[in-house]
Amino acid sequence: MNEIVQDYIEDYIRGLIPKGNPLLEAFRIKAIADEIPIIHSEVQNYIEILIKSRNIKSILEIGTAVGYSASVFVNAMGPQGQIDTIERSFKMVSQADENIEKLGMSDQVNLILGDALEKIETLDKTYDMIFLDGAKAHYIHLLDACLRCLKPGGVLVSDNVLFKGMIASNALVIRRKITIVKRMREYLLAISNHPQLLTTILPLGDGLAVSWMKE
């Protein structure tokens, strides 16, 4: 059972999303079969609209996994798009490298192996969009660095921010997840009240926060 949006609504919305690029669709099906936690289809659909409507050409992603969302974002940005994506698992980076090469996207994807908390400090670029999709307990620790790396007018998109409903309701909290819940609540308060950001939290997928960096 889904604690954020009722299953029948989610299924209906997903059913309306047309199948896109067949290679990406095959990639999505394989990743799901391999139990890789990739972005939900409706979240993907929303971010693709964001990328195209805001003419986003540079993205920093935290949490590559096998490279599925990075490939979707490159496809949405077109040939001018560039993504830097950080992943701490060597195994994931190797698979992502293979997948991205097969899609002919290697020139547009810079895979960075390491812990995002350390690697983000080494980046001296700014981006049109940052997609936070790594360990949920670290979002709060990455916030200052993300703001430093975001262009004025850029968007910070944070996935899984409602975490199976636990963030909004104590009744749903599993005891061993309490640290994630506390830190995510702290993060959502911070991005909702930050003087440089305008934030909305959407009950989409596992919860998506979209924050616009004021110009």
The answer to whether residue 134 forms part of the interface with ligand SAM (CB under 6 A) is: yes
Question: Could you tell me the smallest distance in angstroms from the CB atom of residue 195 to ligand SAM?
Answer: 26
Segment contacting ligand SAM by CB under 6 A, of 13-21, 115-123, 143-151, 183-191: 115-123
Contacts with ligand SAM, 25-54, as mask; x by CB under 6 A? ------------xxx---------------
Residue 41 or 192 with smaller CB distance to ligand SAM: 41
Q: What whole-number distance in Å separates Cα of residue 185 and Cα of residue 211?
A: 15
CB-based contact 66:92 (threshold 8 Å): yes
The span from the CA of 55 to the CA of 40, in Å, is 22
CB-based contacts of 68, cutoff 8 Å, min separation 6: 24, 27, 28, 31, 36, 38, 39, 99
The answer to whether 169 touches 207, Cβ cutoff 8 Å, is no
Q: Does residue 110 contact residue 86 with C-beta atoms inside 8 Å?
A: no
Let me know: does 206 contact 40? Beta carbons within 8 Å: yes
Cα 80 to its chain centre, rounded Å, is 20
In the complex, least distance from residue 214 CB atom to ligand SAM, rounded to whole angstroms = 26
Looking at 52-60, 88-96, 168-176, 206-214, which segment touches ligand SAM (CB under 6 A)? 88-96
Question: With CB under 6 A as the contact rule, which of the stretches 51-59, 103-111, 129-137, 171-179 interacts with ligand SAM?
Answer: 129-137
- In this chain, which of 117, 123, 173, 190 binds ligand SAM, going by CB under 6 A? 117
Judging by DSSP bridges, how do beta strands 109-113 and 58-62 pair with one another? unpaired
Smallest gap from residue 137 Cβ to ligand SAM (A)? 9
Binding site for ligand SAM (CB under 6 A): 37-39, 63, 65, 68-69, 86-89, 92, 115-117, 133-135, 138
